[in-house]
Amino acid sequence: PVLVVDYGAQYAQLIARRVREAGVYSEIVPHSMSTEKILAKDPAAIILSGGPSSVYADGAPAGDIALFEAGVPVFGICYGFQLMAHTLGGTVAQTGLSEFGATTATVCAEDSSFLTGTPDSQNVWMSHGDSVSHAPEGFDVLAKTPGAEVAAFVDTKRKFGGVQWHPEVKHSDYGQVALENFLFNVAGLEKTWSTGNIIDEQVAKIREQVGDDLVICALSGGVDSSVAAALVHKAVGDQLTCFFIDHGLLREGEREQVEQDYASTMGIKVVTIDESERFLGALEGITEPEAKRKAIGREFIRSFEDAQRKLIAEAGVEGADIKFLVQGTLYPDVVESGGGEGAANIKSHHNVGGLPEDLKFELVEPLRTLFKDEVRAIGRELGVPEKIVARQPFPGPGLGIRVIGEVNKHNLDVLRAADAIAREELTAAGMDEEIWQCPVVLLAGVRSVGVQGDGRTYGHPIVLRPVSSEDAMTADWTRMPYDVLAKISNRITNEVREVNRVVLDVTSKPPGTIEWE
């Protein structure tokens, strides 16, 4: 793989994604990993990411000369670029000039190496204080910017290169070209990573792991669990049974849609289990968000265990057991929970309320190394219907964390009706692509006075929370057209009794989270 050494920049995942877009498998490793361990992973190339620190700052991650003596191509980005210069004997100076945001890089070498095919003057995106004033011996300076005399360099003999700017962000117009030039022309790598390869590789892996045993999957109807199930189904066919647990916290029409889509279009065995009474019973009287999540998680596991017992009984085999559980864990979940070395670490966020660590299953996680866009591409190639592949995220605990206050049938019905209207109007207005997701929230514990017809009302507010995001880690509220908002507000207040006010959430994340609970 190409290893991206993460120096604490928020860009490391983005770099890995860009490398994969180029057709080369890439993984992230923390900068605290020793050079020995990094090299033991047999990297085809190493990319040093950006980072917040100056190479001269106290406690700044240091460079290790051994990393540069292993004969492995290295590319440095921003902090990684300076670290490389510093470690190899160049000079990093505090010029007093910093550059943040867009600037222009000028190519200043005759042989422009990995900048070949990019214009002499190009937009790049910067974020640095110090800058490299002298390149180390053996390096050619390729470009400069107003704030950096040395903004790109290369040593083609040793296959080292780097840029002061961030080639991984879209604001650097030719960033991807530079990165690909380095990987293919300077480092001499080849394209080996494609959706077809991923599918073949994962299918083989799943077959080897599962053998003839039975596998189950808790299907949520979302992109990740659907594509994971489709992959496992391709690998082991009807050894896979999916359970779709209707916890009574679904949106209108959701259950019917899931039942239809999986059985008919994908040929996957899905058993729907109606557990709404069990969940509503468990949620009675609970208003505290974490308590809700825990209750939902607990009931989820119980339902799941019951479903398993039934399946085993049906199989009619003495002593039969189900050993494997499919999970749609993605690479960002793995990275964020600490790098993914060793045992499976199930985040409470990723699953419905968090499955317990002592689950008796062995996990099958075919998406563990993939980014969301790769998962979507694979889903499409596997024939997962577009409406599932393009679906917006919906949290496992469902509407349970969107009723602020007590979750009961009545409140859920009110929210479901309002949510259906909002979704219908957003789709009609063509907003689905622009919006990452739009939680619709019922403030069940809040009432306000209104007037309808000639009468006074004392109803509940509905909150619209449309957000734009790339990965849900950060988000901004979507600037929606007023007339779409007006239509939604009108319809909800007219059609949903009990709701007499619609409000818009204009908070970014951070400080607000996307969901209200």
Contact of 249 with 274, CB cutoff 8 Å = no
* Residue 431 exposed, middle or buried by CB count within 10 Å (0-12, 13-18, 19+): middle
Tell me how many degrees the CA angle 464-469-471 measures, rounded to the nearest 5: 125
Residues near 452 by beta carbon (within 8 Å), at least 6 away in sequence: 493, 500
Write the single-letter amino acid at 460: H
Question: Any contact of residue 509 with ligand XMP (CB under 6 A)?
Answer: yes
Q: Give me the residue label for tokens 């050993």.
A: 323
Between the alpha carbon of residue 482 and those of residues 269, 427, 508, the distances in Å are 44, 15, 19
Question: Any contact of residue 396 with ligand XMP (CB under 6 A)?
Answer: yes
Nearer to ligand XMP, 406 or 471 (CB): 471
Q: Write down the least CB distance from residue 13 to ligand XMP, Å.
A: 16
Applying CB under 6 A, among 63, 397, 400, 461 the residue interacting with ligand XMP is: 397
Contact of 11 with 179, CB cutoff 8 Å = no
Applying CB under 6 A, among 216, 280, 378, 514 the residue interacting with ligand XMP is: 514
505 is in an annotated binding site: no
* Contact string (CB under 6 A) for ligand XMP, positions 428-447, x = contact: ---------x----------
Q: Please give the Cα distance from 15 to 190 (Å, whole number).
A: 18
Nearer to ligand XMP, 38 or 217 (CB): 217
Catalytic residue among 27, 86, 128, 168: 168
Catalytic residue among 31, 86, 166, 247: 166
Question: Any contact of residue 294 with ligand XMP (CB under 6 A)?
Answer: no
Q: Is the peptide bond before 511 cis (omega within 30 degrees of 0)?
A: yes
Strand segments, DSSP code E, in 327-430 are: 362-364, 403-404
Question: Any contact of residue 63 with ligand XMP (CB under 6 A)?
Answer: no
Applying CB under 6 A, among 60, 435, 472, 503 the residue interacting with ligand XMP is: 472
* Contact string (CB under 6 A) for ligand XMP, positions 337-356, x = contact: ------------xx------
Q: Please give the Cα distance from 132 to 320 (Å, whole number).
A: 65
Question: Any contact of residue 466 with ligand XMP (CB under 6 A)?
Answer: no
- Only segment of 43-51, 88-96, 274-282, 392-400 that touches ligand XMP (CB under 6 A): 392-400
**Binding-site size, ligand XMP (CB under 6 A):** 12
Tell me how many degrees the CA angle 188-192-198 measures, rounded to the nearest 5: 155
* Number of other CB atoms surrounding residue 104 within 10 Å: 12
Beta-bridge mates of residue 441 = 463
76 is in an annotated binding site: no
Question: Any contact of residue 391 with ligand XMP (CB under 6 A)?
Answer: no
Nearer to ligand XMP, 239 or 327 (CB): 327
Q: Write down the least CB distance from residue 247 to ligand XMP, Å.
A: 12
Q: Please give the Cα distance from 376 to 361 (Å, whole number).
A: 26
Q: Write down the least CB distance from residue 326 to ligand XMP, Å.
A: 15
Q: Write down the least CB distance from residue 33 to ligand XMP, Å.
A: 28
Q: Write down the least CB distance from residue 477 to ligand XMP, Å.
A: 12
Q: Please give the Cα distance from 279 to 300 (Å, whole number).
A: 8
Q: How many helices (H) and strands (E) does the chain have?
A: 14, 23
226 is in an annotated binding site: yes
Q: Please give the Cα distance from 490 to 332 (Å, whole number).
A: 39
C-alpha atoms less than 13 angstroms from C-alpha of 464 in its C-beta half-sphere: 28
CA 449 to chain centre: 41
Our answer to whether residue 78 is catalytic in this structure is: yes
Rounded to a whole number of angstroms, the CA Rg of the chain reads 26
Neighbour-count burial for 403-412, b at 16+ CB within 10 Å, e otherwise: bbeebeeebb
Q: Write down the least CB distance from residue 516 to ligand XMP, Å.
A: 8
Q: Write down the least CB distance from residue 14 to ligand XMP, Å.
A: 18
Strand segments, DSSP code E, in 171-239 are: 214-218
Contact of 182 with 75, CB cutoff 8 Å = yes
Our answer to whether residue 217 is catalytic in this structure is: no
Q: Write down the least CB distance from residue 437 to ligand XMP, Å.
A: 6
Question: Any contact of residue 474 with ligand XMP (CB under 6 A)?
Answer: no
Question: Any contact of residue 395 with ligand XMP (CB under 6 A)?
Answer: yes
Question: Any contact of residue 515 with ligand XMP (CB under 6 A)?
Answer: yes
Q: Please give the Cα distance from 82 to 17 (Å, whole number).
A: 22
Question: Any contact of residue 494 with ligand XMP (CB under 6 A)?
Answer: no
Q: Taking CB under 6 A as the criterion, which residues in 166-185 touch ligand XMP?
A: none
Nearer to ligand XMP, 294 or 302 (CB): 294
Nearer to ligand XMP, 160 or 304 (CB): 304
90 is in an annotated binding site: no
Give the β-pairing of 140-145 and 148-155: antiparallel
Question: Any contact of residue 289 with ligand XMP (CB under 6 A)?
Answer: no
Q: Taking CB under 6 A as the criterion, which residues in 87-146 touch ligand XMP?
A: none
223 is in an annotated binding site: yes
Q: Which residues are catalytic?
A: 78, 166, 168
Binding site for ATP, by residue number, is: 220-226
- Give the residues lining the site for ligand XMP (CB under 6 A): 349-350, 393, 395-397, 437, 472, 509, 513-515
